[in-house]
Amino acid sequence: MRMNRRGFLQTLAIGGGALSAPSFANARQDKALSPGALGLLYDATKCVGCQACVIACKEVNGMPPEFSDPDHLWDAPLGLSASTRNVIALYKEGGRHSFVRQSCMHCVDPACVSACPVKALTKEPKTGVVHYDAGTCIGCRYCMVACPFNVPKFEWGSAYGKIVKCQLCDHLLAKGEKPGCSSACPTGAIQFGGVQKLLQEAHARLKAAPGAYYPKVYGEKEGGGTQVIFLSALPFEKLGLPDLPDVSSATLSETIMHTTYKGFGMPIFLFALFAFIARRNLQKGKEE
């Protein structure tokens, strides 16, 4: 059989139609915040940069120190890593400066959970903590690519490397204690609690001192919302918090994937396309 241009275009149209038709039916909605969701409110205007949270995090999670100086004098991580789940970074511009805490945001609709092919990353239904299970993980590191905040880190030095990230000290939460960072914070810059309450608190602070803050609660809507929310005097982009759309990236990617694979559509279409090309080439060879 030899297909002409007309026939080829027809095949494409049918395939494309088959793919696009159910796309509306598969449009995914952002996941909603659980009423019992727990999170943190980090107020950069209250942070004094003492790094007590960094020490406390390492202590309660049994993480080794990380050196960045030749003499190995300090536990001085340059950012999140396999041995650092929580770090305080400094932004400086002219005479102004601000600290910012880098750690897992515990997204309401996490991209890492969506990207994980084996459910090693799960979102706890009640508290909303994004939990990692090393026993399930296959080490594909899709979560690292998927995370819009660049949070999950891999143990590159280990032959059986695991993913390391903040789990909101869920081992302490189980005992009724607060996460290490918020217990250690001497100024109350890291406040632990229910996300709804924290959002109320954040808005109350914005209202009480409008001049002191950049007029936004970061994490209320960004990327579908996060359970770790931020207040700052400076624009959040300067503190390394990306300007994300209100729709989570999990919604975008899952809509595309679930649409194209609906009824095994994409594989069948691709197989048909390649079969056609292969057959055409075969015919061409015979004629010659």
Partner 1 sequence: MATAKKFSYNSGSGKPLADLSRRQFIKFCGCVAAALGMPASMAPKIARAIEQGGRLPVVWLSFQGCTGCTESLLRSTHPTLEKLIFEIISLEYHETLNAGAGIQAEAALKETLNRDAGRFVLVAEGAIPLADKGVYVRINEQAGVDLLNEVAPKALAVIAIGSCASWGGIPSAGPNPTGAKSVGSILEGRPVVNIPGCPPNPYNFLSTVLYFATFGKLPELDAHNRPKFAYGRLIHENCERRPHFDAGRFAKAFGDDGHRKGFCLYKLGCKGPETFANCQVVKFGDVEASPISIGHPCFGCTESGVGFEKPMFQRADIQRFTPPAFYPHVFEPRGEGVTPLTAALGGVAFGGAIGAGYALTNRLFKATDGKEGADKPKGGGAHEDE
Contacts to partner 1 by CB under 8 A: 49, 51, 54-55, 65, 67, 69, 72-79, 87-92, 99-100, 238-240
Q: Among residues 93 and 287, whose Cβ is nearest to partner 1?
A: 93
Q: Among residues 37 and 57, whose Cβ is nearest to partner 1?
A: 57
Q: Among residues 21 and 78, whose Cβ is nearest to partner 1?
A: 78
CB of 91 to partner 1, least distance (A): 5
CB of 146 to partner 1, least distance (A): 20
Query: Rounded CA gap, 274 and 283, in Å?
Result: 14
Name which of 170, 184, 169 is nearest 47 in CA terms.
Answer: 184
Q: Are 170 and 8 within 8 A, CB to CB?
A: no
CB of 99 to partner 1, least distance (A): 7
Q: Among residues 221 and 238, whose Cβ is nearest to partner 1?
A: 238
Query: Rounded CA gap, 250 and 123, in Å?
Result: 13
Tokens of 161: 């490397």
DSSP 49: -
CB of 6 to partner 1, least distance (A): 35
Residue ranges of E strands in 103-227: 121-123, 130-132, 153-154, 163-164, 190-194
Q: Among residues 39 and 77, whose Cβ is nearest to partner 1?
A: 77
CB of 64 to partner 1, least distance (A): 9
Element containing residue 70 per DSSP (H, E): none
Query: Rounded CA gap, 126 and 243, in Å?
Result: 28
